[in-house]
Structure formats: structure tokens, C-alpha cells
Chains A and B, each alone.
Chain A
Amino acid sequence: MLMEDGCICGRAKKIARITGRSDDMLVIRGINVFPSQIEHVLLQIPEVGSQFMVYVDRINHLDEMTIDVEINREYFSGELADLSRIQKKVVKELRDTLELRTTVRLVEPGTLPRFEGKAKRVIDRRNGL
């Protein structure tokens, strides 16, 4: 965020506060995570959609990442066991790519927000840095 009116010291525009990164990169337990990596992983898994939401929390001083993904309509067999298998598969593929353990929540198809223009898929609930 820039100070549009310029600084009182007489210099021109100055950064008032840093609100975030333009590329949305996250640092989770010291590992850099780009949302585009998550999207790339999800696109490789036909059982889930490519929409997702990421929630980051700090629990017991550790960063925890939770990812909501939609189940793909055609891959719902009606069996709970198959859903658990899909969930585990997503966790595994994410771990292989990000080298991070994540929590994956399967949600109903069409329930995640769709974005026009810049997507806001990351909700960082960690307090401070």
C-alpha cells in the first residue's frame, strides 16, 4: 500500500504498509508454496475439480494448511471408502509436490467460490508474522 499523498518528509510516494505478496506465495513451516503448484496438482487428479481454497492457521506454533477441493461429480460412486481413497490420493499428491503435509477436505461440487480476474484462494489466518 502506497502513501498516495507522499510522505511528510517531502519525498515522493512511499510504502505505508506491506500487505502481501503480488504472487501470493505462502511460507508454510519454512517451505515456499505457490497456489499455482496446488492448482497444478489438482489438475492432474481427475477425481477432483481444479477449484480450491487454502486456509492457513497456526496451531501450537506450527503452520497448518487446509485445502478444500470439490469432488468431481462423475467420480462419486456412492461409497464412503472410495471418497476416503480420493481424499488420501490428493493428500499424497500434494505432499509429493509441495513436500508438505496438508489437510484436504472434500466439498460438494460447485460450492467453492469462482473468481473473475484475480483469484483470492488463500485465507491466511495466522496472526502476524
Chain B
Amino acid sequence: MDTYVIRQVSVFSENRPGRLAAIARALQDEKINILAFSIAEADGFGVVRALVDRPDRAFERLGSLGFNVAFTDVIAVKMRDEPGGLYEIARILGDAQINIEYSYAYSGKEAAIIILRVDDVQSAIQVLLERGAGIMESSAFQ
């Protein structure tokens, strides 16, 4: 099961100019590639979420620069890149009463990928495998 769990790097950031640039610069300096990424914002602060090729190095580097960093377990699922692709995946989780806390997606050359943070990671992996969804192994990213 753990082969499907991807470690997302979550970084606490104040909501002010230059913070994302500082994070991106740090990753560039370590030659870390960002595979997927999103920003969530709340009242005056935000969390930058990223899937990177070398999460441990990213964690270390950002931490040494004073950033507050944590790992979050997420899963990535391949979707058909056509109408209804998202519905297929969302329906599987909905039917299984698994809640999606947040999600972000990208549409690549080969397929569309959705990254999911769910309340019950193990059950989500199990039900997605049972229903034949294209859940991706973490080694595809990291």
C-alpha cells in the first residue's frame, strides 16, 4: 500500500510578496524539480504544497532557510483527459464515503493527474485499486 503514498512537501508561508520566490529559489539552488504544486491561502498566511522529485532534500534545504516545512501523505491518480474523467475518480471516493480534503490536478501529455489529500489514505488506495483506477506509484514522482 505504501508504494502509492506520496510525500507532499507543505510549507507555511506568510501571505506577502516574495515568499514564493524565496521557496522556488531554494529549490532551484538544490536542483529540485517541482512536479505539481498549489497554494492554499487563509487569513494572512498560506500553505505552499508541492510534489518534488527529492522531498527529503527539499525539506532539509527549506528548513535550514527557516521555513516551516512538513510532509503530508497524498495520492496521485491518473484520469482520462476527457469529459467525465474527474467524475470517475471522484465517484469512487464518494461512494466509499472517503472525504477529499483538498486536491489539485494537472493535465500532462500522457494523461491528466489528480493529486488527492483524503481523510483515510489507506482506504482510498484500496478502493481505487479495487475499482481499477489508475493510481500512481510514488516512485513515478520521487
Contacts and interface: CB of A to CB of B under 8 A. Distances in A.
B40 A108 contact: no
Interface stretch (B24-32, B43-51, B132-140): B43-51
Contacts, number: 54
Interface in B2-31: 8, 10, 12-14
A106 B41 CA distance: 12
Contact of A83 (B12, B69, B71): B12
Interface in A78-116: 78-81, 83-84, 87, 105-111
B129 to A, nearest CB: 25
Interface string A59-76: 000000000000101001
Interface of A is mostly: mixed
B83 interface: no
Q: Is the interface of B mostly helix, strand, loop or mixed?
A: strand
B92 to A, nearest CB: 24
A105 B66 contact: no
A80 B40 contact: yes
Interface of B: 8, 10, 12-14, 40, 42-47, 66-72, 101-102
6 A-B pairs with the lowest CB-CB distances in the bound complex, closest first: A78-B10, A78-B70, A78-B72, A76-B68, A105-B44, A80-B40
Interface of A: 71, 73, 76-81, 83-84, 87, 105-111
23 contacts: A71-B12, A76-B68, A76-B70, A77-B70, A78-B69, A78-B70, A78-B71, A79-B10, A79-B72, A79-B101, A80-B40, A80-B42, A80-B47, A80-B102, A83-B42, A83-B45, A83-B47, A87-B43, A105-B45, A106-B12, A106-B14, A106-B45, A110-B66
